[in-house]
Every structure is written in C-alpha cells, then in structure tokens.
Amino acid sequence: MILHVNSPAGEYPVTIENGALNRAEKLIPTEGKTLIVTDDGVPKEYAEKIAKNRQFSLTIRLPHGEKTKNADSLKLILTRMVESSFTRKDRVVAVGGGVMGDLAGFAASVYMRGIDFYNVPTTFLSMVDSSIGGKTAIDFCGVKNVVGAFWQPKGVIISTETLKSLPARELSAGIAESIKEAVCFDKELFDLIDDKENFDLNAEKIIEKSLKIKKRVVEEDPTEKGLRAVLNFGHTIGHAIESAEGGRLLHGECVAVGMIPFSSPAVRKKLIPLLKKYDLPTETDVKSEKIAELIAHDKKCGAGGTVKAVFSDEIGSFYFKNVTLNDVISLYEERI
C-alpha cells in the first residue's frame, strides 16, 4: 500500500509493505551520496539492504535510546557529512525508531540549509506516529525536543517485517501512540487494538488506520497552528515524565501515563484496562513539582504558564481547552 502525504514541501509517498526493504534501491535514489543513520538496537541487515548498490554510502551506527538524541550526536553526523563532501544533491536516511528519525531528520534540515531526507521506521511507534509530518528535533539542556525544525521527508518506507525483531516492550510502547489516535479519532481503531489476541493479524491494518489519521491531521495543519495539537494528547505530562525518568521509561510508556489525567471517567474505564492489556504503565511516582518545572520549559507551555491541552470525553472524540499549569498539576495529582 502507498499513502501520498501532501506537505508544504510537496507530496511524498509512504510505502507500507512486507519486504519493502528489499526494494530500497527503487524507493530511495542510488546516485550520489547516501548517509545512513541507525543505532545498535537495529539489526545491521536493515542498513545493509539500503546501502546495497549505491554509488556511495556511509553508515553511522549510534547507541540505542533517547540519550543519543543530543547535540554531540548531531555534531558527529554533520562532521561525517562535511568530511565526505556531501552536497545538496545527496541525502540522509534514518533507519530505526523515532530517535533516529528525529536526529537524522534534523541533521538533514540544517546541513547546507537542507538536503533530502528519507525515513525508514523500524519500530511500531515510529511507523504510526513520527515517520510522517516533518517534525525533527534533538533534546537539549535536559529538555525533550527543544531544538528542532519542520523538515519533510522525500519518502517513508515502512517494511512491516521489521516488527518481528522488536522487543515486546518496545512494541507495546509503540501501540500507545495508536491508542492515542484511537481515543481521539476512531472507536473502530480502538476496538481493533483491544482485540489483542489477533494483533499480529491486524497489525498492518492498525498501522494503516493510524497513519491515515496522522496524514489527515498533518495535511490540514502542517506546522501545528491548530488541529495538529491534538497529537499532543498524552504528551503534555508524558514529555515531562520522560525527561524526569531519564530514559527509564520509553516514550510510549510515558504517553500512556500522560493520557489518563486528560480523559473523562468514561474514557478511563476503557483506556486503563487496554493499557494494562499491553503491559503499559498507568501511573508514575514522579513528583508534581518536577512535572511542573519541566512543563514550564516545554514548547507547549504558552505565555503566563497556559497550556492548550487535549481532552477526551468519549472514545473517538476530543476537545481543546486552555488550562493553567496549576490545572495540569491538579489533574496529574487527581489521576487514578
């Protein structure tokens, strides 16, 4: 299946296909130079398939995890590109999860004021969420995604067989992002995810439905001026938890916890059992004071400490409400 996403930079294809990596040389141009950015949690064969039959390819393999998404890693990537005389006609390819996509995409956005970027997500989370929409970033001064840019990919290749190599915990963390989209937009998707016994059978359909939601949102609001803020459901508190935990919890696990305070009792009644079904956390022991401190530095926090928060009062719907930082902390403290 191919989805076509419209962006301010033009249309780009999202290929969703079992075995798509085997066609990498047809999906990503082979002429010129290609920098492949991956991590040591990704099987080497994935990058090797992309490097095959290229005029010139260079692979950078970084440590796995959120802590890699920093200025030092960015400097390393840019240094290798300068040393190898990359030009504006060349490209960067991310192979891995959201960390690799964010980091490699941001490097592509700033090198020579922008070169082509291709995203090959290999985790469920990056497939259904971060692979499209053009958000790229690194963490800086202990704050998640505080330095970044919108830089649209030239193409996204989702090779679904890569999910087989994914640890169960990372798979569940990715499913949290699909649950987020289901809670806000699609009861049918929620029920599909709830049918865990048939998850393997339904996985590709869940990915497609999740991406169609994301596609609709980012096409209507490419730079997060309105509707796109709905994708922050669970992230206001989730990002703060992620920073406070220092990598102990995965991104999707933090989003799982972060959805609960902004859900009505009716939504919680269905949401919490679903999260537990996939072994996702529903609470954390991070102190309120730390949450408040981190949200105050988050890009979602506006003047005077106000936050445009996303709430859900029933499965398949959402609404925005401007709340104060104190309101957010009260919701966090009152969570079930």
Residues 218, 308, single domain; the answer is: yes
Residue 112 shares a structural domain with residue 181: no
Q: Mark whether 151 and 74 lie in a shared domain.
A: yes
CATH number for the domain spanning 221: value is 1.20.1090.10
Look at residue 144 in the predicted model and tell me its pLDDT.
85
Is residue 129 located within the same domain as residue 213?
A: no
Rounded to the nearest 5°, which phi and psi values hold at 133? 115, -20
177 assigned to active site: yes
Is 170 an active-site residue?
no
Handedness of CA 216, 220, 223, 229 (dihedral sign): negative
pLDDT tens digits, 24-47: 999 999 999 999 999 999 999 999
What are 62-71's pLDDT values in tens digits? 999 889 999 9
Residues 126 and 182 grouped into a single domain? no
The yes-or-no answer on residue 251 being catalytic is yes
Quick check: 335 pLDDT over 80?
Answer: no
Q: Tell me, what CATH number does 68's domain have?
A: 3.40.50.1970
Q: Which one, of 63, 37, 102, 38, lies nearest residue 247 by Cα?
A: 63
- For residue range 230-265, list pLDDT tens digits in order: 999 999 999 999 989 887 999 999 999 999 999 999
Predicted pLDDT of residue 215 = 94
Is 76 a residue whose pLDDT tops 70?
yes
Reported as a single tens digit per residue, the pLDDT across 149-172 is 999 999 999 999 999 989 999 999
Amino acid at 274: L
Q: How far is CA 244 from CA 169, 215, 252, 284, 329, in A?
A: 20, 31, 15, 11, 15
Per-residue pLDDT tens digits for 184-239 = 999 999 999 999 999 999 999 999 999 999 999 999 999 888 899 999 999 999 99
pLDDT of residue 336: 46
Query: Would residue 4 show up in a list of annotated catalytic residues for this protein?
Result: no
**Which residues form the domain of 78?**
2-165
Query: Within this chain, do residues 147 and 178 fall inside the same structural domain, yes or no?
Result: no
249 and 330 in one domain? yes
Question: Among 101, 135, 165, where does a domain finish?
Answer: 165
Phi/psi zone of residue 83: left (φ > 0), alpha (ψ -120 to 50 degrees), beta? Answer: alpha
pLDDT, position 246: 83
pLDDT higher than threshold 60 for residue 177: yes
Domain end: 121, 138, 165, which one?
165
Pick the catalytic residue from 33, 66, 154, 232. Answer: 232
Do residue 191 and residue 85 come from a single domain?
no
Residue 142 is predicted with a pLDDT of 85
**Helices and strands (DSSP H and E) totals, the chain:** 13, 11
What's the pTM value of the predicted model, to 2 decimals? 0.87
Q: Which of 33, 49, 239, 268 is catalytic?
A: 239
User: In percent, how much of the chain has pLDDT > 90?
Assistant: 83
Out of 165, 185, 212, a domain closes at 165
Q: What is the total count of domains within the chain?
A: 2
* pLDDT higher than 70, residue 302: no
Catalytic residue among 214, 245, 253, 268: 214
- Evaluated on CA atoms 242, 165, 207, 28, the torsion sign reads positive
Long-range CB pairs of 77-82 (<8 Å, 24+ gap) are 77/35, 77/37, 77/103, 77/104, 77/107, 78/107, 78/110, 78/111, 80/35, 81/35, 81/107, 81/111
Q: Is the pLDDT of residue 296 over 90?
A: no
Q: Contact 66/239 with Cβ under 8 angstroms?
A: no
Mean pLDDT of the chain: 94
* Catalytic residue, candidates 66, 170, 181, 224: 224
Tell me what pLDDT residue 25 has: 94
103: pLDDT confidence band, cut at 50, 70 and 90?
Answer: very high
Please state, in angstroms and rounded to a whole number, the distance separating the CA atoms of residues 108 and 111.
5
Query: Which entry of 69, 144, 145, 177 is annotated as an active-site residue?
Result: 177
Catalytically annotated residue among 91, 209, 251, 268: 251
Claim to verify: residue 155 and residue 200 sit in the same structural domain: no
**Rounded average pLDDT over 95-114:** 97
Q: Distance from first CA to last CA of the chain, Å, rounded?
A: 40
Q: Are residues 216 and 287 in the same domain?
A: yes
Q: What is the pLDDT of residue 304?
A: 65
- Of 228, 245, 253, 268, the catalytic one is 228
Whether 160 and 177 share a structural domain: no
Q: Which residue has the higher pLDDT, 303 or 301?
A: 301
CA dist., res. 106 & res. 69, Å (int): 10
Contacts of 290 (CB under 8 A, 6+ apart): 240, 244
